[in-house]
Each structure stands twice: as C-alpha cells, then as structure tokens.
Chains A and B, each alone.
Chain A
Amino acid sequence: MFRLEARTSTPAWFNLALPLVAIATTLILCSGLIAVTGAGVIEAYGVMLSASLGDSYAITETLVRAAPMIFTGLAVAIAFRAKFWNIGAEGQLLAGAVASCFVGAIPMPGYLAMLLMALAGAAAGALVALVPATLRVKFKVDDVVSSLLLNSVIYYALMALIEGPWKDTFSGYPISPPIEDSANFPVLIEGTRLHLGVVVALIAAPLCWFLIARTTLGFRIRVTGENPEAARYGGINVQRVLLSTALLSGALAGLAGVGEVGGVHFQVMSDISPGYGYSGIVVAMLARLNPLGVMPAAIFLAAVMTGAEAMSRATGVPAFLSDVIQGTALLAMLVALLFTAYRIRRVGASS
C-alpha cells in the first residue's frame, strides 16, 4: 500500500525534473495511440523529431510556431503568479491580431508601422484582459469563467468583422485585407520564415523573468498571488496589482497576435490561431510559471505541432496526435505538481 505524505520542502532540481518526467510520461502514454494506428512508435516519434528539430530549416519553423506560444505562455505565467486566472489569452491574442492588422494596413514607413502595430496589438490585448480583471476586482466575478467566455465573444466578433464590413474585397474570402508590404516583419534568415517577432519573443521571456524576480511590481505580483491578505496588511494595493497584472498579461497575449499578423499571415483570418492562447496555459504550467521556463516549454509544444504534420504524412498517424500530446502533457504536469507538495511513501503490507 502506498500513501501520500506532506513534504516539508521541495528540492530545487524538481523544477527541471517535473516537466521532463511529465513530458516523458506523455510520450509513453501517447505511444499507445500511435501503436493503435499500426505505425511504429519509434519511427513516428523519429519523424516528429527530425521534422521539427532535425535541420536548420525545421528549427526555424519550430521557432516561428513557438513565438506566439512564448508570448501566451508568458501572459499566462505572469497572470497565474498573481492568481489572476487568465484563461483568455486566446481572445487577447485575436484582439491583438485585429488591432495590429488595422494599423498595419495604413500606409506609413515600415518601422513606424511595426512599432505602432505592436503598441496597438498590446493595447488591444490589455484592454480585453482588463474586462475579467475589473469584473473580479469590482464585482467578485469569477475570472476563470469570464476570461474563458470572453474568448468566444472576441472570436465571433472577429468572424463578424471578416465576414462583413472588413471582408477582403480583392479575394472575396472571409479574410481581412492584408497589411502593407512595408509593414511585414523582416525575415532574418533568407529562405525561412524566421521573422523579427520571433527574436522579440525570445527577448521578452528574460525581460518577464526580470520583471517578476527583480522589480517591486514583480514582488507585489508574487506576494499578492501567494497571500493577498498578507499583501494587503503589508501595504500592497491588491486590486491595483491585479489590474496591472491583467494589463501586462493581456498585452503579452496581444503581442502573440501581432507576431502572427506581421510575421506569418500578414492579414487576419478565422484560423489565425490554432489555439495558441490555450496552449499558453500548457506552456506556463510546464514552465512552472517561470518566464525562463516558458521558452523551452513553448519550443517543445511547437516541435510537437510542427513534427506532427510530418509524422502524419510519413506514417499515417493523424496529426491530431499533437493536440492529444498537449492535453496529456498538461494533465501529466498537473499530476507531477502533486509531488512538490507530497511524497509517496510505502506503508507496510496492510491491505
């Protein structure tokens, strides 16, 4: 018989070991699904690995996919640190995409356009995140529910826009008009899609770490998240911290949308995000809410997504496996987190 016993402390190496254990468990569990389709497990994972990280082009593709998830992962990680349960990164991303696309379609010098796109996208995401945060602070509305439901509101508003007044007259498809060519983010390596936004994402992660670990705002976010009453007693304006966190989190998620518009799609369509906002939750949890951990976690999920398509082509295993891996990874991580608080002890054979 086994039982859980409370831990008095958590060793530091757990921060690294837990996500790795969760990922390993996920891959083992999902190999069962691969086997069911009749493909070889080693072969399928092999194709996945080589197609996502096997050569320099594959790596750039993985990084391009990782960029939006780094932003949404940071958005979720920072929000969750303050225990502002922002499940709305998806909607904030879409709002950021729409706003930056509007700005990018206005003719102006390229770098000014890019800067304004980023500002507009961040502001739009921040405004969307402010809604559930304000509802919580003023009316004690559950932020999980309100931020989640707001995703649908934003999504269908976006659909209404591109099906209606904002429909691209040139193509006639339900997509927005493209941004100006001069506003397209510069590609950093010729022949790839590696754009400026990816670099910005890779820089954003350490900046967010610095914010959380080394600034008074970060301190207040951490303390408010862990113990709002002690925070209030200590003179922290808890409501203001929650609202600041929401603005920051929403802005980061909005930037994910900016990168997709400026660097990948150059316009807005209904499937501009294959759920990057939700993947951000998985990323943040795998990273244990540490902004530095967000980078490898996002790259892992991006590699799974990129690799899954190649695997599907090569072995016939449906690409949906990447969604299963994501979901399983989140569950595995949540279970793994149990071991930060408890240890398993073997108890004498009593039953």
Chain B
Amino acid sequence: MAGRPERGVQRSPPWLAGSQIQGAPLSAPLIEMRGITKSFGAVKANEAVDLSVAPGEILGLLGENGAGKTTLMNVLFGAYAPDAGEILVEGRAVAIHNSADALAAGIGMVHQHFHLAPRLTVLENLLIGIPGKSGRIDRAGGLARLKEIGRQHGLNLDPNLPVSALSVGEQQRLEIIKALFRGAKLLILDEPTAVLAPSEVDGLFAALRSMAAQGLGIIFISHKLNEVRALTHRCVVLRHGKIAGRVDHPASTTSAEMAKLMCGHEIVPPVKQASTPGASVLTLDGISTASHAGTPLREISLFVRAGEILGIAGVSGNGQRALADVISGMLAPKAGAMTIAGKAVAQFSPRELQALGLGRIPEDRMTTGLVTNLPLADSMVLPRIGTEAFSRRGLLNPTAIRAFAEAQIKAYDIRCPGPMVRAGALSGGNLQKALLARELAFDPKVLIVSQPTRGLDIGAARFIHEKFLAMRVKGCGIIVIGEDLEELLMLSDRIAVMYEGRIAGTLPSAHATVARLGLMMTGAEGHA
C-alpha cells in the first residue's frame, strides 16, 4: 500500500521493532493529533482536538460517556477516517486507514472488548497475522520474543495455554503483549481497569509504569479519577467532543477538580440519610449450588433488612455470579432455602421472584438486561410483559407500553430520541438508567444489583447511587454486588465479603476500611 507510512530501513521481523524506541528524538512527540474533527451525521463526536504523547509519557484521556474519547482513539487506530485533521508519528504525517496501518506506525490498542481467538493458545494468538518464514509459522522466534517481553515488563503468560483458559485479567495482559509483540511504541488502553479486580489493577499499573520507563507512550482512558491520578503524568479532558481542559499534574489535582472539568459543573457526593432497618426482606439460608459454572456457592446464609443496603465484596470469581444468579432466579440452588418478604421461594424462576417483589439489575446490561436490536420500550417492559400493565389475554397494549417507556425516559432523564429507538444505540449510562427504571417503577421490596456503575461516567454513577439511597430510605432492601470497594463503602450499611463461594465475614460499614476488606477478600481474615 502506497499510503502506508515509512518505518525507516528496518528489515527485522515486526516483533523486533519494539526495542527501537530509545532512538526517538526527545523533541518530537511520539504521536501528535492535530485538529481532529469527526462527525456522525449531525453529531460532532470530535471537534478540533489536539493531543500529543511523548515517549515515556502516560497520558490520561478523561471524559464522560459520549464525550468522544473512544471515537478519538478509533481515529488514531484507523477504525474511522477523520473529517479533518492530521496524525503525526515521530514528527511525520501518516495516513492511517485501518488497524494494520496503525500497527505499522507503532500504535497498539487494547480495546474494552478483547479481540482474541479463544480456542488458540497464547502463542498462536500472538502469531496471528505475523508473516512467517516461507509459509511456516515461526514459533521459535515468537516464543523468544514473548520471553523477552515477559522479562522486560514483567508480563508473563504460559505460551501454550488456550485463551479460553485465561482469566479476564490474563486475557488483557495478552492483548498488551500482543501490541508490544507487534512493535507498538504507543499503547492505547480503553478503560482497562473496568474488567479487573483491585489486586489485578496494581499489577497492570506496575506493568504500564515499567513500559513507560522504557520509553513507550501510553494513552490511558478511564472514568476512575483516583486511578488516573495515581498513574498518569498528564491528562486531557474531553467534553462534548472538544478539549475541555488539560491537567498537567494529575497527582496533585483533586478528583473534584477533574470531575468538574469532565462534567462542566461541580459533583457533590450524595448524602446518605439515616435509616432504621426494618424486618428482613430477603434471607438466604444455607444456599449451595452445583458446580456447573464458575465458583459454586457453599452454604451461603445472609439477610437484608428493609431500608438497608448490603454490599457484597470480593475478588471477582469467588461466587458472586452464582449468588446473583440464584437471587435473580437464573440458577436454582441444590440445597438451602430463600425467602422474600417472609415468603419461601419455591421455583427460583425469574417470574416467581418478580411476583414476590424482587427487583433485579443484571451485571451485564447488554447481554442479560436488554435486547439491543429491538426498541428500547420492549426492553423496558420485557420482565412484566405478561402482566395486566402491558397486556391482556395475550394481546399487547402498545399504548400502555409506549406510555410507560416515555414516562420512565422522562423521569430518569434517559437521553435518547424516543422509546422506539434501538436499545443498542444508547450509551451505557442511559441503558443502566433504563434498567433501573424498569425495576423501580414497580416498587420492589428487595433489589439485587451487580456492578451497578461499571463503565459509567461520574454523572451517571452519581445518579444511580442517589436512586439506591432514595430507595433505601423508602424501605427497600438492596444488595449491591461489586468490586469497587469505595463505592460499596459509600453505599452500604453492612458489607459481606465472599471468598471461594462462602461468606468470609460481614462488617458494618462503619468498621470497614478498604484495607481490612482487601485482607478479607484474600481469605486471610474471617469475621462473622
């Protein structure tokens, strides 16, 4: 391809290119984007955005959902062609039309959703698309390069494991290795910590710091301001597609100041009002599950009282998913009993639980919560389509369905063109609001939510938190399963820690600290 940028006179295989970064002149930024503008129809996703990254620099890219971060990075990685503006790599203008051009220019990207072939091994995934020697795959060369990357940055993986056997954190590590393997000098990470447990985040940050110390440039996209402050050297804040501000010393800038740049106004943490817990609205007594998916539950007993929020903390994969599945009716336990508002649960079906007064918000809103290809209104009435509210004798009531969706869109300020828009066209925050609305509209006695604010920006997360706290004051019992300990501490009245399918201990929030919970999450401390 003629438009492909020159890469000097390197004749070495592509995986040897990564170590050439020291030669870059310090004066020229590694990557410079100038005046990038990109519109989708009437919406300007990016407008005249300038951004540069120097070798060895970790740049934070901040912004609320829909602020244009992902679009900007997709332009840099070649997924979209910008309407205006140019991209310079080490001072030279380059044209990037696709990911191959981007990789050739030394730009690697780790997407939120991984691009791996699950049945192939770690090494095979690395070698995809790498030209071999005379038609044969160069396994030995690949293995050597993989070891070298492992040594350089402390990123180690067993080359012969199939990707399907890797944890989410390991798959992300593989994506990073893949970018380095292809000679990336600049690494873009799109919300990399959203899928990681707190302990894994530390490992990721150590690796990123090591890479930067060796001259790589890194663009770190995140919503989590404490992470951005801990990791990055400099930040660029996007709002409505434009640069809203730059932060030169993130470590000494407060989260509130950054949040103000992102949202355009002050963010005040929600006030937790006093609430006296009433009678227990949900009890689990000795619930165990068969070991068919993930960590099974082993004799879980817990309760939630009216007007109380119970947080469930734990490193991901310690049975939280099974717990959420049992409580929301997706998985019947093999032993144990559950009651909702004093009534025993017999079938553990979604319909039965709903009828008993349970509200449910799933962990994965796109796959479990909504039907992305159908109108938003359909997703909003889905769990109660058979009830009097939306149908009678098997016939739908389209007027009622539409009116319900419209009312909730208004009440929850769900930003969308209307109830008939494809649900998949909405942003994560708005989808979460829609899921919240569809449950809270029916005044549940108990609410179970998993990872309620994962991937949401500050404004949307704040909104969700306020709703939970308001429900709590109204006397709803809420279970929040999460990995963000600060969020759990802020919301919960009590926090239970899960470890290997059991409750390792329960603490009143007043006595809980991140450090203590962290210790319990590793199974080190039991506290009943």
Could you list which residues of chain A lie within 8 angstroms of chain B, going by C-beta atoms?
A: 1, 3, 5, 8-9, 213-220, 222-223, 226-227, 229-236, 345, 347-348, 350-351
Contacts and interface: CB of A to CB of B under 8 A. Distances in A.
Contact of A216 (B351, B360, B394): B394
Interface centre among A230, A231, A347, A351 (most CB of B within 10 A): A230
Contact of B367 (A213, A220, A230): A230
Given A222-B374, A350-B97, A216 B385 contact: yes
A347 B1 CA distance: 13
A235 B359 CA distance: 12
A216 B371 contact: no
Interface of B: 1-3, 40, 80-81, 95, 97-98, 328-330, 349-351, 354, 360, 362, 367-374, 378-379, 382-383, 385-386, 391, 394-396, 398, 421-422, 425
B382 A1 contact: no
A350 B371 contact: no
Given A214-B395, A215-B394, A350-B97, A220 B330 contact: no
Contact of A350 (B1, B329, B360, B425): B1
A227 B394 contact: no
Contacts of A223: 371, 374, 378, 382
A227 B422 CA distance: 13
B81 A345 contact: yes
A83 to B, nearest CB: 11
A12 B374 CA distance: 14
Contacts of A217: 394
Contact of A219 (B95, B329, B396): B396
B367 A227 contact: yes
Nearest to A8: B425
B362 A233 contact: yes
5 pairs of A and B residues whose beta carbons are closest in the complex: A350-B3, A234-B382, A235-B350, A235-B351, A234-B383
B383 A226 contact: no
A214 B349 contact: no
A104 to B, nearest CB: 32
18 contacts: A3-B97, A3-B98, A5-B80, A9-B421, A216-B396, A218-B396, A223-B378, A223-B382, A227-B371, A227-B372, A229-B368, A230-B369, A234-B350, A234-B383, A345-B81, A350-B1, A350-B3, A350-B95
A1 B1 CA distance: 11
Contacts of A213: 396
A2 to B, nearest CB: 11
A226 B95 contact: no
B349 A235 contact: yes
Nearest to B382: A234
B473 to A, nearest CB: 28
Nearest to A10: B422
Interface centre among A1, A213, A232, A350 (most CB of B within 10 A): A350
A345 B81 CA distance: 9
Contacts of B368: 229-230, 233
Contacts of B379: 230
A296 to B, nearest CB: 24
Contacts of A233: 328, 330, 350, 360, 362, 368-369, 383
Given A8-B425, A229-B367, A235 B383 contact: yes
Contacts of A226: 371-374
A204 B107 CA distance: 57
A236 B391 CA distance: 15
Nearest to B383: A234
Contact of A230 (B80, B328, B370): B370
A236 B349 CA distance: 10
B388 to A, nearest CB: 12
A9 B383 CA distance: 25
A348 B394 contact: no
A350 B350 contact: no
Contacts of A231: 371, 382
Nearest to A230: B371
A233 B373 CA distance: 17
B420 to A, nearest CB: 10
A6 to B, nearest CB: 9
A347 B97 contact: yes
A278 B139 CA distance: 47
A219 B3 contact: no
A229 B378 CA distance: 15
Given A232-B330, A347-B97, A215 B395 contact: yes
A5 B372 CA distance: 19
Contact of A235 (B97, B354, B371): B354
Nearest to A6: B79
Nearest to B40: A8
Contacts of A214: 395-396, 398
Contacts of B371: 223, 226-227, 230-231
B370 A232 contact: no
Contact of A351 (B3, B80, B369, B391): B3
Given A223-B371, A350-B1, A350-B97, 13 more contacts: A3-B97, A8-B40, A213-B396, A215-B394, A216-B391, A217-B394, A222-B378, A223-B378, A227-B371, A227-B373, A231-B382, A233-B362, A233-B369
Contact of B395 (A3, A216, A235, A236): A216
Contacts of B97: 1, 3, 347-348, 350
Nearest to B369: A230
Interface centre among A3, A217, A235 (most CB of B within 10 A): A235
A233 B81 CA distance: 39
A232 B350 contact: yes
Interface centre among B328, B394, B398 (most CB of A within 10 A): B394
Interface centre among B360, B382, B395, B421 (most CB of A within 10 A): B382
A226 B1 CA distance: 40
A47 to B, nearest CB: 42
